Amino acid sequence: MDTLKMDELVSLCKRRGFLFQSSEIYGGLNGFWDYGPLGVELKRNVKECWWRDMVTGHDDLLVYPGAPTAYEMTGLDCSIIMHPQVWKCSGHYDLFHDFMVDCRESKKRYRHDQVQGRWVEAKGKRVFVSVLPETDEPCLELEQRALKFFNLRAKHLDQLKWEGPVVSLTTVPDFSAVLGPDAKELGTLTPPREFNLMFKTYVGALSGEEGAAFLRPETAQGIFVNFKNVVDSSRVRIPFGIAQMGKSFRNEITPRNFTFRSREFEQMEIEFFCHPNQSAAWYQYWRDRRYRWYLELGLAGERLRLREHHKEELSHYSCGTADIEYAFPFLPPGEFGELEGIAHRGDFDLRSHMEGKLVRQGDNLVVEQGTDGKPKHKGSGRDLTYFDDVSREKYVPHVIEPSAGADRATLAFLCQAYQKDVAPDENGKPTERLVLKLHPRLAPIKAAIFPLVKKDGMPELAERLYRDLKKSFTVFYDDKGAVGRRYRRQDEAGTPYCLTIDGQTLEDRTVTIRDRDSLAQRRIHLDKVAEELQSLLQPRD
């Protein structure tokens, strides 16, 4: 496992039809990927396990271990393009929508509004000296930069004639007299260019800005804006969760590491609504529950970790966030990549969609003001509070958000499953075997059915078994070549069980069932095969 090279896995994924580069025949498209015949089944299984374990299989009446009370779960499937105001109130518009300037000299890129500077005159030249402030004292940093630029010693500080206060680069219309934060010469900054991390599109035939809309950068907002609809239509009572799976789009600057950071990706998100007093306990519950989910589906404990964010790392609205991370093989030893984030979001989201985009002010969230003193991004004005019929209490629910990446999970399961071990060849000599040890619930093909040889009525019996099993399972029939080769092919596809019809089947109607991982075989009766598979594929508690 430690020796797994990422390119070996990428090669297997291509060779066996798990993953292809998007638009490959045209040279590929950076950040986009296609799932092949086996990959689509694997990813569907990942999503179906999640949906089943979190939503349809959820027991509303049971108090799960670690949960404060019983709770309900329900689902939703929202549109990818939503009203543009959704993204303004959620904060994505301001956060993901930046103007950037590049420095032709240092090759660095800065956010236009983050560059700070001050006009200064010396030796007959007037210059806007800028820095990307690293300390609370940008003035000192600016002094150093200015002295160096004018080639002055510290004792000649008085030759610098400062003009006005420290201001943002956004106040400077022309960059020809600007000294970039890492430049030695003037005028190396490009004009500010719009960088949008959200994909922009246009609704309707007209392509004017009034029709501008965005592909969603997360599925979560669809849940928040439908919160009231779900409460009003489904009789759910707090505490409850709404789950949604679906595509999201982020225009990443640097897509990297196979499917890990893609521009089009699929999320599996839950927004769990609860009473503010219980939110801390629910946060803990979901964090632990979600961590166990990955463990149960086969990710190794030593490669999977639950990491609480430090206080400084927390978003402005969050009172607690944990990441579930996996030690992907493309990362340096000791580093982990995020699979899922579980965030305590408080009442930030629902309030944002009521009141408008919020910002933190001390310990409180307040509506962000524009320069005109009005709300910067106006909310819907709808009442998204919850009324508890039993306690007669009205409140804005708090939200716990377990947000997972379906493609990242799929990739982690593939990385974990990819193993080389040793199996005997036809002479009993140990040879290397490539095997995908996927959890049976995730395996694209659940069982393969083989006649041991293509004669004596074995194929006919095998075909009957195949047809019978096909009704309830994804199974695969193969009668070509030696049986050993067929076993190995299934090993590479991750198929957990192989059923072989042999001479003895003709006598007593038993078949061998071969286990992918142990290579062990045992005989079971033909009539019991479906039942046996059913129990082997059953999720265990």
Which residues form the interface with RNA (CB under 7 A)?
A: 6-7, 10-11, 14-15, 21, 25-31, 95-96, 102, 107-109, 197, 217, 250, 252-258, 261, 315, 330, 332, 423-426, 428, 431-434, 452-456, 458, 480-485, 487-489, 492, 500, 502-503, 512, 514, 519-521
336 or 395, CB closer to RNA?
336
Residue position matching structure tokens 């580093």: 335
Q: Where are the beta strands (DSSP E) in 157-258?
A: 161-168, 178-179, 193-196, 200-202, 212-214, 240-249
Structural contact between residues 277 and 56, judged by C-beta atoms closer than 8 angstroms? no
CB neighbourhood size of 143 (10 A):
18
222 or 239, CB closer to RNA?
222
- Please tell me the distance from the alpha carbon of residue 516 to that of residue 326, in angstroms, as a whole number: 25
261 or 275, CB closer to RNA?
261
CB of 110: closest distance to RNA in angstroms? Answer: 10
- Please tell me the distance from the alpha carbon of residue 90 to that of residue 86, in angstroms, as a whole number: 6
391 or 518, CB closer to RNA?
518
The DSSP 8-state label assigned to residue 215 in this structure reads B
CB of 332: closest distance to RNA in angstroms? Answer: 5
**Residues contacting residue 437 through CB under 8 Å, at least 6 positions apart:** 298, 416, 417, 419, 494, 516, 517
CB of 260: closest distance to RNA in angstroms? Answer: 8
Structural contact between residues 85 and 255, judged by C-beta atoms closer than 8 angstroms? no
30 or 229, CB closer to RNA?
30
Helix (H) or strand (E) holding 112: none
305 or 489, CB closer to RNA?
489
26 or 173, CB closer to RNA?
26
CB of 500: closest distance to RNA in angstroms? Answer: 4
CB of 249: closest distance to RNA in angstroms? Answer: 9
Q: Where are the beta strands (DSSP E) in 219-276?
A: 240-249, 264-274
Which tokens go with 153?
Answer: 């010693």
- Please tell me the distance from the alpha carbon of residue 195 to that of residue 112, in angstroms, as a whole number: 11
Say whether the peptide bond before residue 181 is cis (omega within 30 degrees of 0): no
321 or 416, CB closer to RNA?
321
CB of 418: closest distance to RNA in angstroms? Answer: 12
Tell me the helices (H) and strands (E) count for the chain, helix number first: 14, 29
CB of 358: closest distance to RNA in angstroms? Answer: 15
- Please tell me the distance from the alpha carbon of residue 500 to that of residue 97, in angstroms, as a whole number: 58
142 or 458, CB closer to RNA?
458
- Please tell me the distance from the alpha carbon of residue 340 to that of residue 512, in angstroms, as a whole number: 40
CB of 530: closest distance to RNA in angstroms? Answer: 19
CB of 253: closest distance to RNA in angstroms? Answer: 5
Using CA of residue 55, residue 60, residue 62, residue 67, what is the dihedral sign? positive
- Please tell me the distance from the alpha carbon of residue 97 to that of residue 45, in angstroms, as a whole number: 35
CB of 46: closest distance to RNA in angstroms? Answer: 19
User: What CA–CA distances, in Å, run from 352 to 87, 276, 385, 404, 412?
Assistant: 10, 17, 12, 23, 34
Most distant CA atoms of the chain, gap in Å: 105
119 or 497, CB closer to RNA?
497
